[in-house]
Amino acid sequence: MPHYIRFLKSPKLESSGKTSGSHSISSLITITTDLGDDFLAEDVELLATVQTSSQKKNISVNKNFEWRAGNRELKISILLPRKVNVEKDTSSTTLRLGIFRAEKYDGAEILGQATTDEVIGGWSTWFRGTPLGVQAEKLIERVFHNEEEDLPALRIWEETGNSIALHIWDAALACVREFEHAYIQHPSALRTLHHLFHNRHASHLNAIELGTGCGIVGISLAQLLPSCSILLTDLEEVQDLLSHNLAAAKMANCSTATFRALNWEDELLPAAIARVKQDLIAVSDCTYNCDSLPVLVKTLGALVDVSPGAIVLVALKRRHESEDVFFDLMRDARFTVKENATRTFSSLGLEEKVEVEMYVFERDDL
């Protein structure tokens, strides 16, 4: 699975100190796994690109940097050409910084990223050049392109910095790819998903995602599959970031994605959730915290109570043995595995491939 380029310090504009009126964009980055527990242990050439936009002109400035095995962080600094005069264009000039693996640049533009790429880069938010020292918002935008060229790019903002809150996790990327394969009828796709997408009895599909975080899994499905309604659920604190991502999404024909707060600790499902019959319940990378597993399984059971026949899709990257408790709890709640598969992904610096497990559960209500 990939390593992720992250901003430890968001980009900002500062005086270069070399000549009067010259400016540079600076930032501090790292490249880590999804949990931030391992740094990229390979040499990789990076391309940093600054884009400026004003009423007069749009300019791009590129510079290459080298990430070395053993690095924990890397200083980025790009001198802007004198024609980018932020002091004269204070009201109209905005800037953003993108950091990508250099091989993603073809000499003219940044090429599309895939969910299977080994190093995933991204863009900062646009920010004004003045006053000096003002940083971009602490977010980074990941842009993923689908295997089918006629499908829209998936644009997802996540929090930047070296933490695990509101980040894209590996199993989520595997889930996005699984949806794509089921939709394009790839022979390796889970049969249950393929049937759900292409042979469903109802004309409209309802799906709910638990622990949506930044929303990449549910939004990807709403962009991919026509005539579906996706309900993204999590705690209230994800709503601001999720609003960014919902605003950037390009939904498929007659499809929607909306957010509703859901706390697994609550005794009952909210009425607005309980009254909708779901066809698909998706859970991605939510089994790592064994303390929350009982309430997660309780919530899955409550959803299937109001949606008999719904399938539960669980994607996980196993991080420790305590996650086995999840399967014991699911069995005790009468859930059985209808189908499962293991997806393998290459990762720089690791000889062994990384595995993400996919499980389709159904409940035995007989």
Span 59-88, pLDDT tens digits: 789 999 999 999 999 999 999 887 666 655
**Is the pLDDT score of 330 beyond 60?**
yes
pLDDT band at residue 320 under the 50/70/90 scheme: confident
More confident residue, 132 or 138: 138
Burial 11-26 (b: 16+ CB within 10 A, else e): bbbeebeeeeeebbbb
Judging by DSSP bridges, how do beta strands 23-32 and 3-15 pair with one another?
Answer: antiparallel
Six-digit token pair at 248? 């950037």
Percent of the chain exceeding pLDDT 70 equals 90
More confident residue, 107 or 272: 272
pLDDT at position 352, please? 73
pLDDT at position 134, please? 81
Six-digit token pair at 122? 């991204």
**Is the pLDDT score of 55 beyond 70?**
no
pLDDT at position 128, please? 83
More confident residue, 87 or 154: 154
Alpha helices by DSSP H, 4-92: none
Six-digit token pair at 352? 């062994």
pLDDT band at residue 22 under the 50/70/90 scheme: confident
pLDDT band at residue 162 under the 50/70/90 scheme: low
More confident residue, 104 or 44: 44
178 vs 315: CA distance, rounded Å: 10
Contacts of 140 (CB under 8 A, 6+ apart): 5, 6, 7, 122, 123, 124, 157, 158, 159, 160
303 vs 255: CA distance, rounded Å: 21
pLDDT band at residue 302 under the 50/70/90 scheme: very high
212-225 residue pLDDT tens? 999 999 999 999 99
**Entry field: residues in the chain:** 366
Model-level pTM? 0.93
**Is the pLDDT score of 250 beyond 80?**
yes
**Is the pLDDT score of 116 beyond 80?**
yes
pLDDT at position 283, please? 98
More confident residue, 165 or 99: 99
CATH topology (fold) of 169-363 = Rossmann fold (3.40.50)
pLDDT band at residue 15 under the 50/70/90 scheme: confident
| C-alpha 279, offset from chain centre | 23
Burial 165-200 (b: 16+ CB within 10 A, else e): ebbbbbbbbbbbbbbbbbbeeeeebbebbbebbeee
pLDDT band at residue 121 under the 50/70/90 scheme: very high
| Closest to 144 in 3D by CA, of 102, 116, 182 | 116
pLDDT at position 106, please? 67
More confident residue, 40 or 132: 40
Alpha helices by DSSP H, 202-281: 216-224, 239-248, 271-274
Q: Would you tell me how many other CB atoms lie within 10 Å of the CB of residue 258?
A: 13
CATH topology (fold) of 3-149+155-159 = Immunoglobulin-like (2.60.40)
pLDDT band at residue 309 under the 50/70/90 scheme: very high
Determine the average pLDDT of the residues in 91-103.
86
More confident residue, 344 or 71: 71
pLDDT at position 322, please? 86
Locate the domains of the chain by residue range. Answer: 3-149+155-159, 169-363
Question: What does pLDDT average to over the chain?
Answer: 90
